[in-house]
Amino acid sequence: MKMFLSLMGACLVVAPAHAQTRDWTPQNLVQEALHKNPEIRFYEAEIEAARAGRLSAARLSDPVLSMETGAMSIAGQTDGAVWRAEIAQVFDFPGRLALRKAIADQDITLAELGLEQCKSQLGNQVRALAGDVVLLRRKEAAARSVQERLRSLIEVLVQRDTGAVSALLERRILEAALLTSTRTLTEAAKEADAASAGLAVLCGLAPEERLNLADADTAFPEARSLQTLKQQAAKTNFGLQQKRLEVAKQGLKVDLTKTERWGDITFGPYMAGQHAGGTQIEGGVVFSIPLPLWGKNKGQVAAEKARAQQAEALLAAALRDLERDLAVSRSAYVAELSALSQWRPESEKEFRDAATEADRHFRLGAVPAATYVEMQRGYLEAMDALIESRRSAWKHRMELERLIGSPMKADEGRSAKAVVQQN
């Protein structure tokens, strides 16, 4: 009896609790991803490292204490010890410390911009996947409704089987359609599950967790003019901002390298003494500067100037690539809006109602099997075309948001149809 109770207790411990389904909004998922994503902590640590570098750049080098000791022998005199102690402080050339601080400040700004970019792109990925999951679930639901209608109808026909050849052929037609719809449903479910698993992992959740998405925004705002997009991206695109900071930072490095043509100044007090043949104490100051005082560091200055030219070239190339990507993404987005404008708002409902009506009339004998199957197939193909157009438009909208570095509001333009008519 004791062993039985122990086994029952162990089973209760290891049995997993039934996971409750939780409703999510895209905004909740974005917050979850920002809270759990490890890259966020990486960039936060990068900011702390840059700030620590700023503290180091603002400090003067520590003074150096040097000591010497030895012995001296003088003929006919008493031997004795000799010693020397010196404290030397290195002073930077005027303006060099300020340049180091400015470069360190640029490093902090770059690290902070990297964190903002990571958060923005992570939020963009979450919203993109959330919209994709919503659309794929709708595609899966349409395929499931057709499959359920076909399966239910076949069960009715089996019960009514009269042995007639026409009845047998109708059943075979419906069974073939059921197999096709099952394949369609399987593919749709696989796509939806894959997108859902990717979204869950991105948000730090278990990949098998089913995400019930509510209030997912899959609207398509007006595609603003290419010039407007360029102007906004020039201000808010993270890649361009980073390249500009790199150019400014490299300019400061050139100035710093120029100041390094003049060596550091070392200054400090010293004392020395000897006890051979009597005691002598000496004191004074030490001043040193490297020679020659001119023509130094030319190679390093030239190298930093070349890197500055490289940074400017990379900025120009990034701007060119950004303009190209904006033009391509906007063109693709407008093309998808054009395709979506061909759909009337009530078209989706009309196709769904027609598929349901075909099922009802086929049961009443008013519609032949071929017409019924064709209607179900047409409904699935229409829904597939609509959802794929929406998915493609959603993908291009998310790409435009990534390029300009900020979300496009769904209420900032007119309807997709009005936009297409204008363009």
Which run of H or E residues covers position 15? none
150: exposed, middle or buried (Cβ count in 10 Å: 0-12, 13-18, 19+): buried
Three-point CA angle 49, 54, 60, nearest 5°: 130
Model pLDDT for residues 254-288, shown as the tens digit of each residue:
988 888 777 778 888 989 888 776 788 888 888 88
Q: What is the pLDDT of residue 239?
A: 92
Residue 226, φ and ψ in degrees, nearest 5: -60, -35
Using an 8 Å Cβ cutoff, are 404 and 233 in contact?
yes
Q: What is the pLDDT of residue 11?
A: 40
Tokens for 83, please give them.
């010693």
Model pLDDT for residues 13-50, shown as the tens digit of each residue:
333 334 445 778 888 888 989 998 888 989 999 999 99
Using an 8 Å Cβ cutoff, are 218 and 134 in contact?
yes
Strands 64-72 and 80-91, sheet pairing: antiparallel
The Cα 181–Cα 178 span in angstroms is 5
Alpha-carbon torsion 162, 163, 167, 171, what sign? positive
Looking at domain 25-70+82-422, which of 3.40.50.1580, 1.20.1600.10, 3.10.129.10, 1.10.1240.10 is its CATH number?
Answer: 1.20.1600.10
Residues of the chain with pLDDT > 70: what percent? 87
Tell me the C-alpha to C-alpha distance, in Å, between residue 386 and each of 128, 296, 375, 394.
Answer: 18, 70, 16, 12
Can you tell me the mean pLDDT for 360-374? Answer: 82
Residues of the chain with pLDDT > 90: what percent? 31
Q: What is the pTM of this model?
A: 0.76
Model pLDDT for residues 181-216, shown as the tens digit of each residue:
889 899 999 999 999 999 999 888 888 888 888 756
Q: What is the pLDDT of residue 278?
A: 74
Q: With cut-offs at 50, 70 and 90, classify the pLDDT of residue 106.
A: very high
pLDDT over threshold 60, residue 7: no
Model pLDDT for residues 324-355, shown as the tens digit of each residue:
999 999 999 999 999 888 888 888 888 888 88
Strands 280-288 and 80-91, sheet pairing: unpaired
Q: Who's near 218: CB < 8 A, 6+ residues apart?
A: 131, 134, 135, 390, 394
More confidently predicted of 21 and 130: 130
DSSP code, position 290: -
pLDDT over threshold 60, residue 69: yes
Which run of H or E residues covers position 279? none
Domain ranges in the chain are 25-70+82-422
Residue 38 CA, distance from chain mean position = 12
